[in-house]
Chains A and B, each alone.
Chain A
């Protein structure tokens, strides 16, 4: 999985640089509503259910103010990644108990072409492990800037 491949799974309509949510529940609803709004899927409850169940298994707040909520759902047609940023921070019950400022929500269908979902998850973890990339992402205002950071990340 190259960075060039990775950026093809982002969408400007799923770039949310100013999240309003302050809790995990609000965050999931805010991003899922955007997925529904752009007609990526039609049933918000099915996706919300899946995301909440994933948190039951273990927090997707991976620490260092980053969360990567993720999962496969029957209701999705393609792999898609939403990005959200919160300046005030979101209460997330992360592994290091820190609030979350950077969110990458990764949704995949049951079967995806070339089985790309898990490599994407791995690549995102790798990119977000770099503190320089995280601080640059906090500064990104436009989608172009954002994509450029991911490309170089």
Chain B
């Protein structure tokens, strides 16, 4: 099945976190020598995401370090702890759409 834009954004954040910790993971004795290949994969992934979404991801990343924040079981943004409208959660849980937190502006990811 085709991945949604949100799923691609989450994959991008996961990949960025991986790149950030390459030297730590290497220090622990793991093989992690193909950094360039991974950076290339990161660019390819970013190219699959609509440009305005990539821009807002990068902007949020600069401001908050993590552009995508989880939503807790009680429907709270775990970035700014604002309670989100319940109407959002049914669509949010499907991972089908990119939804921004109305409190902090970050992209929301429903964990369950």
With a cutoff of 8 Å between Cβ atoms, the chain A residues found around residue B7 in the complex are 43, 45-46
Binary B-proximity of A41-60 (CB < 8 A = 1, otherwise 0): 11101100110011011111
With a cutoff of 8 Å between Cβ atoms, the chain A residues found around residue B111 in the complex are 41-42, 75-77
**How many contacting A-B pairs (Cβ < 8 A)?**
95
Residues B38 and A53 in contact, CB atoms below 8 Å apart: yes
CA distance A53 to B12 in the complex (A): 11
With a cutoff of 8 Å between Cβ atoms, the chain A residues found around residue B11 in the complex are 46, 49-50, 53
* Count, chain B residues at interface, CB 8 A: 33
With a cutoff of 8 Å between Cβ atoms, the chain B residues found around residue A59 in the complex are 31
With a cutoff of 8 Å between Cβ atoms, the chain A residues found around residue B83 in the complex are none
The range of chain A's interface size is 20 to 34
Residues A43 and B95 in contact, CB atoms below 8 Å apart: yes
Chain A interfacial positions (CB closer than 8 Å to B) = 39, 41-43, 45-46, 49-50, 53-54, 56-60, 62, 68, 70-77, 95, 109-111, 118, 121-122, 125
The 5 lowest CB-CB distance pairs between A and B, nearest first, are A58-B31, A58-B32, A50-B14, A72-B17, A74-B10
Chain B interfacial positions (CB closer than 8 Å to A) = 3, 7, 10-11, 13-15, 17-18, 21-22, 24-25, 28-35, 37-38, 41, 66, 68, 70, 93, 95, 109-112
Sampled A-B contacts (5; CB under 8 Å) = A42-B110, A56-B41, A72-B18, A125-B28, A125-B30
